[in-house]
Amino acid sequence: MEYTHLGRTGLQVSRLCLGTMNFGPQTGEEDSYALMDRALELGINFFDTANVYGGKFGEGLTEQIIGRWFAQGGGRRDKVVLATKVYNRMGEWPNERGLSAYHIRKAAEDSLRRLQTDHIDLYQMHHIERSTPWEEIWQAMEQLVREGKVLYVGSSNFAGWHIAKAQAKAAQRNFLGLVSEQSLYNLNARMIELEVIPACADFGLGLIPWSPLAGGLLGGVLQKVAEGRRASERMQATIEKHRPQLEAYEGLCTELGEAPANVALAWLLHNPVVTAPIIGPRTLEQLNDSMRALEIKLSDATLARLDEIWPGPGGPAPEAYAW
C-alpha cells in the first residue's frame, strides 16, 4: 500500500479510501466486517462514512455497523483514520440538520456513540450551509477539537469560493480550518478542475474524490450491461448517451491490458492534489481488484487519449474560458 499526507497535515492515509455507503443497504453486516478486515490486511487505513448512510432515516445504520466492528477489538480502531460527516437531516425536528452549532454538537455526539469511539479523525461538512455564518461553524468545530472529539475538519461538495471563505475565517481565528475536500470527480465529471482543484492546491487541502467510477459507468459497463444496477432504465439511458466514449474508453483499456475501473482510479491518482479516491466495493473480489490501480502508471500519450475521450472543462479558471 502507498500512503500520502492528507493535504498539508502530517496525517498519513492510504492512497485508496474505503467507502462504506453500501454497508447495510447493499452489503450485509457480516460481509461489511469482512470487507473492513480485508482492507486492513491490504494496508488501507482510511475509512469514510457519514451519519446519514444506512438507508433508514435517522438511524445511522452504517455508523452502527462500523462501531460494532470496532468493538470486536484487535486494534481495529487504532489502525483506522476514521472520517464521517455532518449536515443531512437526522430527525424530524428543525434543528436536526445543517451546520448550526447546535446540530454540529449533537450530530458529533450521536456519531461517536454509534461508532463506539471517543474521537472522529476527520469530521466533514457534507454540504455547504449558506444560512449559517462561518463564525458559528468554526466555533462549534473548535470546541470539538478542544475536547478531543474531532482531530481534523474537512468539507464535501463545496465550491472553490466556499473553501476560500472558510479558510479566510479560520485564519482569522488562528484555527487550522479545512484540511480536505470530498468532491464528485471522475473522468466523466471534471467540472471541479475549474476552481475547486485550484483552491485545494492553493490552500493545501487533500482532494478525496467520490464516485470515481461514475456510478459504474467507468467500470467496464459495456461488458456488464445487463447486470445489476446497470440494467436500470436510468443507467441504460446514460450508457446510450455516452456509448461512443465508452467504446473508445474500453477499447483503450483493452489496449493497455487493464480493467477499465483500475484505469479510472489510476487517472485520479495521477493528479497530485488527489489524496485518495473513495472506493465502494460490495465484494471482497472488487476490493482486491482495486489494488491494481496503485501499480498502473499512465503515460503522457495515454493521458492525452483519455482527455480526448473524456474532455474536461479546459483547465483551471479563468484560462478555461478566457485569455
53 is catalytic: yes
Q: How far apart are CA 246 and CA 242, in angstroms?
A: 6
pLDDT digits (tens, 9 = 90+) for 15-28: 999 999 999 999 99
* pLDDT at residue number 297: 96
pLDDT: is 168 or 236 the higher one? 168
Helix (H) or strand (E) holding 198: helix 196-203
At residue 224, does pLDDT exceed 80?
no
What structural domains does the chain harbor? 3-219+259-301 (3.20.20.100)
Cα-Cα-Cα-Cα dihedral sign, residues 163, 169, 172, 176: negative
Residues 6 or more apart whose Cβ sits within 8 Å of residue 140: 99, 100, 101, 104, 105
What is the reported pLDDT for 227? 54
pLDDT category, 56, cuts 50, 70, 90?
confident
pLDDT digits (tens, 9 = 90+) for 125-177: 999 999 999 999 999 999 999 999 999 999 999 999 999 999 999 999 999 99
**Residue type at position 36:** M
Residue 122 forms beta bridges with which residues?
Answer: 83, 152
Checking if the pLDDT of 285 tops 60, the result is: yes
Q: Does 236 have pLDDT greater than 90? A: no
pTM (whole model) above 0.85 = yes
Of 210, 217, 213, 220, give the one whose Cα is nearest residue 258.
220
Mean predicted lDDT score pLDDT of the chain: 95
* Close Cβ partners of 184 (under 8 Å, ≥ 6 residues apart): 157, 192, 209, 210, 211
Give the model's pLDDT for residue 55: 85
Whether pLDDT at 230 is above 70: no
- Output the pLDDT for position 235: 84
Query: What's the grid cell of residue 56?
Result: 433508514
Number of helical (H) and strand (E) elements in the chain, helices listed first: 12, 10
Tell whether omega for the bond before 318 is within 30 degrees of 0, i.e. cis: yes
Query: What is the structure's pLDDT at 271?
Result: 97
Q: Does residue 223 carry a pLDDT above 90?
A: no
Grid cell digits, residue 145:
477539537
Catalytic residue of the set 53, 87, 185, 249: 53
pLDDT above 80: residue 228 = no
Write the CA distances from 294 to 77, 138, 159, 234, 266, integer angstroms: 25, 36, 28, 31, 7
